[in-house]
A and B are shown apart, each in its own frame.
Chain A
Amino acid sequence: MLAKRIIPCLDIRNGQTVKGINFLDIREVGDPVEMGAEYASAGADELVYLDITATHEGRNLFADLVRRIARNVNIPFTVGGGIKELKDVEPLLSAGADKVTINSAAVKDPELISRIASSYGSQFVVVAIDAKFESGEWYVYVNGGRIKTDKKLFDWAREAEKRGAGEILFTSMNHDGTRKGYANEATARISRDLGIPVIASGGAGKMMHFVDAFSEGEADAALAASIFHFREIGIRDLKNHLKEHNIPIR
């Protein structure tokens, strides 16, 4: 039976894993390669590495980092953060990344999804969507949640699939950072609408939230960052908890 996936997400700045609520309060939490290898041996199913560096030097560091991750981590990993056009993808995949994730660049230029999918295959393209529920509607945001667009979440998710996305990573901005659980209703709707896997993101605070993301949210995978980095929830404990609740896990 296909297992539900648990995915720790690591934000990378200048080659280090960082965590912060906003750009003013960013803490370094460890070496990305060591953390990735540790998560892998603890039972994580995949990893996501997002480059939040804005500088050119930082970008080069990130490409080197991708190579080191590929050498040292024995589970699949997705990278993203700085992909603006097709030519940004090749160095990451040839460095050993298994998938790339695109967000704002796909909203600005939806054809980018098709270009990556037809060059490398749909399974390499994860379209990340940040959305916020306001006045009765889910709106898509770009630039790390700073700029609102007129795109609606469910329409955009369907369009992304049609253009060749292999997976959707949906983050609810209403839930992100609250630790009160994932946006299960919206996640379930995307999961039912689409024929590709959906990763739930934003809001994990306790183990029961993962159970809910898989049962109510019908997610194929659940992503979280700080609760793993700050060792509030261990991957192994989480997997045991999911098993007790009859969620298929490995």
Chain B
Amino acid sequence: MKVAIVKYNAGNIRSVDFALKRLGVEASITDNHEELSAADKVIFPGVGEASTTMKYLKERELDSLLRGLHQPVLGICLGLQLMCAASEEGEAECIGIFDLTVKKFEPRQKVPHMGWNSLSGIQGKLIPRELEGRYTYFVHSYYAPICDQTTAVADYINPFSAALERDNFYATQFHPEKSGSVGERILKSFLEL
């Protein structure tokens, strides 16, 4: 199985590679269009700012490439947010796989939302049902609201989408690569899709 990690100007890509290695999977980290299109699975991770990373992706036409992929694609953290239609962060127009606008948390509690939070309302194909109530690791200041494509909910300041799915596109706001054994089960589930 060929797994490709999208290489772009965002942080934290190495951690996903290490997490896959722990599962015995050697991934390639690439921005090559042919290589991404030919992969069996594509992972789109990232930590960073929405508008500057979108600009980078658009210049390399990686946004349209991602939108047109037919194999399972997993967006993580900023990856999830960039797969939405738009983000309030830097007024970014995003890739538009999920029909949502990413919003900034109202600072009624500490922002960023940083740490381990529980998953509820699990549905869809990515996250095993028995992980209902289990904790995963989040670090983010913006969130995707709940919609028809929401497949898991977390609650901080307000309930938001911890995971989204649409057709072959999957995304998690949390970091499965940093979420201990629970995260490993979710990554494994993605590799088995």
Give A residues with C-beta under 8 Å from B: 1-3, 5, 40-41, 45, 70-72, 74-76, 93-96, 98, 120-124, 166-167, 194-197, 220-221, 250
Within B114-153, the residues touching A (CB, 8 Å) are 114-118, 135, 137, 139
Assembled-state Cα–Cα distance A166/B114 (Å): 9
Task: Establish whether residues A121 and B48, one from each chain, have CB atoms under 8 Å apart when the complex forms.
Answer: yes
Within B67-126, the residues touching A (CB, 8 Å) are 107, 110-118
Task: Count chain B CB atoms within 10 A of each CB in A74, A124, A194 and give the residue with the most.
Answer: A74
Q: Kindly provide the distance from the CB of A86 to the nearest chain B CB, expressed in whole angstroms.
A: 15
Within 8 Å of chain A (Cβ to Cβ): is B155? Answer: yes
Assembled-state Cα–Cα distance A48/B115 (Å): 14
Assembled-state Cα–Cα distance A76/B181 (Å): 13
Q: In the complex, which residues of chain B have a beta carbon less than 8 angstroms from the beta carbon of A45? A: 115-116
Category for how many chain B residues contact A: 20 to 34
Q: Name the one of B11, B15, B181 contacting A121, with C-beta atoms under 8 angstroms.
A: B11
Binds A, one of B17-25, B33-41, B57-65, B164-172: B17-25
Q: Name the one of B107, B156, B181, B183 contacting A2, with C-beta atoms under 8 angstroms.
A: B156
Task: Establish whether residues B18 and A71, one from each chain, have CB atoms under 8 Å apart when the complex forms.
Answer: yes
Assembled-state Cα–Cα distance A194/B111 (Å): 10
Task: Establish whether residues B118 and A1, one from each chain, have CB atoms under 8 Å apart when the complex forms.
Answer: yes
The residue in chain A whose Cβ has the minimal distance to the Cβ of B138 is: A2
Q: Kindly provide the distance from the CB of A195 to the nearest chain B CB, expressed in whole angstroms.
A: 5
Q: In the complex, which residues of chain A have a beta carbon less than 8 angstroms from the beta carbon of B112? A: 122-123, 166
Shortest beta-carbon contacts, A-B, top 4: A250-B135, A250-B116, A3-B116, A76-B178
Task: Establish whether residues A197 and B110, one from each chain, have CB atoms under 8 Å apart when the complex forms.
Answer: yes
Q: In the complex, which residues of chain B have a beta carbon less than 8 angstroms from the beta carbon of A121? A: 11, 47-49
Interface residues of A: mostly helix, strand, loop or mixed? loop
Task: Establish whether residues B15 and A123, one from each chain, have CB atoms under 8 Å apart when the complex forms.
Answer: no
Task: Establish whether residues A1 and B48, one from each chain, have CB atoms under 8 Å apart when the complex forms.
Answer: no
Q: Name the one of A94, A124, A195 contacting B14, with C-beta atoms under 8 angstroms.
A: A94
The residue in chain B whose Cβ has the minimal distance to the Cβ of A122 is: B112
Task: Count chain B CB atoms within 10 A of each CB in A2, A71, A94, A121 and give the residue with the most.
Answer: A2
Q: Name the one of A3, A96, A122, A194 contacting B15, with C-beta atoms under 8 angstroms.
A: A96
Task: Establish whether residues A123 and B114, one from each chain, have CB atoms under 8 Å apart when the complex forms.
Answer: yes
Task: Count chain B CB atoms within 10 A of each CB in A75, A194, A221 and give the residue with the most.
Answer: A75
With A75-B137, A121-B48, A220-B110: A5-B22 Cβ-Cβ less than 8 Å: no
Q: Kindly provide the distance from the CB of B158 to the nearest chain A CB, expressed in whole angstroms.
A: 13
Assembled-state Cα–Cα distance A45/B115 (Å): 8
With A71-B18, A75-B178: A2-B116 Cβ-Cβ less than 8 Å: yes
Within 8 Å of chain A (Cβ to Cβ): is B26? Answer: no
Q: In the complex, which residues of chain B have a beta carbon less than 8 angstroms from the beta carbon of A96? A: 14-15, 18
Q: Kindly provide the distance from the CB of A15 to the nearest chain B CB, expressed in whole angstroms.
A: 19
Q: Name the one of B19, B115, B177, B180 contacting A3, with C-beta atoms under 8 angstroms.
A: B115
Q: In the complex, which residues of chain B have a beta carbon less than 8 angstroms from the beta carbon of A75? A: 137, 178-180
Within 8 Å of chain A (Cβ to Cβ): is B31? Answer: no
The residue in chain B whose Cβ has the minimal distance to the Cβ of A167 is: B114
Assembled-state Cα–Cα distance A195/B175 (Å): 23
Q: Kindly provide the distance from the CB of A175 to the nearest chain B CB, expressed in whole angstroms.
A: 23
Assembled-state Cα–Cα distance A221/B137 (Å): 14
A–B complex contacts, Cβ < 8 Å, 20 sampled: A2-B115, A2-B117, A2-B156, A41-B180, A45-B115, A45-B116, A70-B14, A70-B15, A71-B18, A74-B183, A76-B139, A93-B11, A121-B49, A123-B112, A123-B139, A166-B114, A197-B114, A220-B110, A220-B115, A250-B135
